[in-house]
Each structure stands twice: as C-alpha cells, then as structure tokens.
Amino acid sequence: EPEVTQTPSHQVTQMGQEVILRCVPISNHLYFYWYRQILGQKVEFLVSFYNNEISEKSEIFDDQFSVERPDGSNFTLKIRSTKLEDSAMYFCASRPSGRRYEQYFGPGTRLTVT
C-alpha cells in the first residue's frame, strides 16, 4: 500500500537556525498539506498546496514558513529562523482528487528547537 514518507524522523536544531522538513507524498496525489502537533495538544493545520501554489494557510504559517515542491516527488516545509515554540511533530499529508476529507498522513518529523 502506498504511503507518505517523511525525513528526518527527528531533527534537533538551535534557535534561529533554518530547518527543512521533507516529505514524499503518494505518487498520484495532487493535494498536499502540512500540519503540526505540539506535544499533548491538537493537530493543527499549517498550509495546503495544489498546482504549485499555496491554496490556504493558517495564522501559524507566517513569513518564517515556506513550502516548495522542488521536483515531481518531494514536498518541503522550511522554517527560516526557528523558535523554541516551533518544537512539535510536523506531519505531511496528501490526498487524491475528489476526496477532500480523506487525507493520508506521514509518520511525522519531531522537531526539537533548543
């Protein structure tokens, strides 16, 4: 069964550093998402991406965040200058056309900012 993959599984970085989280969505999916979950809290939407552009973003997704699909398979989330409060699990998701509520999530990247 095809699945979304994410790398790295765990990233430790110092405050102020840039990080790039990588995702490989399911190959025939066209819609891509990033969510995050701070330890013990809800899963929160960050951004959705379709046809090489952002279709929606949350208040959390400020100028420090960016997304890119650099080639036909990867989907990345960049945080330019990390803060302590960016520490969280970051989940990538993708979905096929026509099934808006059926999103397939990756295993997540645990980001720890020190």
Residue ranges binding another protein (CB under 8 A)? 4, 31, 33, 35, 42-45, 48, 50, 55-56, 58, 89, 91, 93, 99-108, 110
CB of 16 to another protein, least distance (A): 27
14 sits in which H/E element: none
| DSSP assignments along 16-55, one per residue | T--EEEEEE--TT--EEEEEEE-TTS-EEEEEEEETTEEE
Identity (one letter) of the amino acid at 79?
Answer: I
| Pairing assessment for the beta strands 19-24 and 10-13 based on DSSP bridges | unpaired
- DSSP annotation of 73: S
Beta carbon of residue 82, minimum distance to another protein (angstroms, whole number): 21
CB of 47 to another protein, least distance (A): 9
Instruction: Give the nearer residue to another protein in terms of CB position, either 45 or 65.
Output: 45
Nearest approach, Cβ of residue 27 and another protein (Å): 18
Nearer Cβ to another protein, position 17 or 58?
58
Comparison of 66 and 96: residue with beta carbon closer to another protein = 96
Q: Which is nearer to another protein, 14 or 62 (CB)?
A: 62
CA–CA distance, 43 with 52 (Å, rounded to integer) = 24
